[in-house]
Amino acid sequence: MSQRVEDEKETGRVEAFSDGVFAIAMTLLILDVKAPKPADAAASGGLLVALRGQWPTYLAYLTSFATILVMWVNHHKLFRHIHRSNDTLLFLNGLLLLFVTFVPFPTSLVADYLQESESGVAAAVYAGTYLALAVAFNMLWLYASGKGRLLGTRANPTEVRAITRQYRFGPILYAVAFVLAFFSVAASVTLCLLLALFFAFTGALTRVFGDRPPGT
């Protein structure tokens, strides 16, 4: 087996491992959406009222789920270009996974504090976690793509630059969400949800105009 074949096998296992972590982190989020206790539901005017009153929990769940899913789709996209692995890549990927697995904690903070007086602190931790995620994501890509360090031999330089340009916005926009948390919690959390949808959409645009070789 040539060196290249061994390297591709390596990337395969990193991708599969990361997929596992993304899938588990996404699925664990539901553990924070708890059924109201029958006594509490009765006290708050019935089960339907109690379920409606949990809306911050659903919002936090949906936003975190969408963000991790979009992160997975983008991780996936980066690794179509990254063909080789080394310990620095594994370390940077590990840093990314550290923040991915951390997401359930700020999610539960936002769910518990969105209707409390200290919701600003919860929203700042929430947006701050996504900011850290976006920075880790950029570090991974800039390291792997810098001087074509770990890219496949067929990686298209135009596509690579397009990804670099596009991902640069992540940290800036999440920094805005972080600062917003100190002024308007609603605006900060809404921005986080919109960013997940925006990155899903940007991905779609890149796909249509960038990734596909013409005539396929």
Q: Which residues bind a second copy (CB under 8 A)?
A: 1, 3, 6, 10, 13, 15-17, 19-31, 33-35, 37-38, 41, 46-48, 51, 62, 65-66, 69, 72-73, 76, 80, 86-88, 90-91, 94, 97-98, 101-102, 104-105, 108-109, 111-113, 116, 118, 121-122, 125, 154, 200, 203-204, 207, 212-213, 216
Q: Smallest distance, Å, CB 109 to a second copy?
A: 5
- Run of H or E including 86: none
Closest Cα to residue 145, out of 167, 114, 127, 176?
167
Q: Which is nearer to a second copy, 75 or 134 (CB)?
A: 75
3-state secondary structure of 21: helix
For residue 147, how many other CB atoms are within 10 A of its CB? Answer: 6
The tokens for 197 are: 């949808």
Nearer to a second copy, 32 or 141 (CB): 32
Shortest approach of a second copy to residue 73 CB, angstroms?
Answer: 5
Pair of tokens at residue 68:
């991790």
Tokens of 59: 């919002």
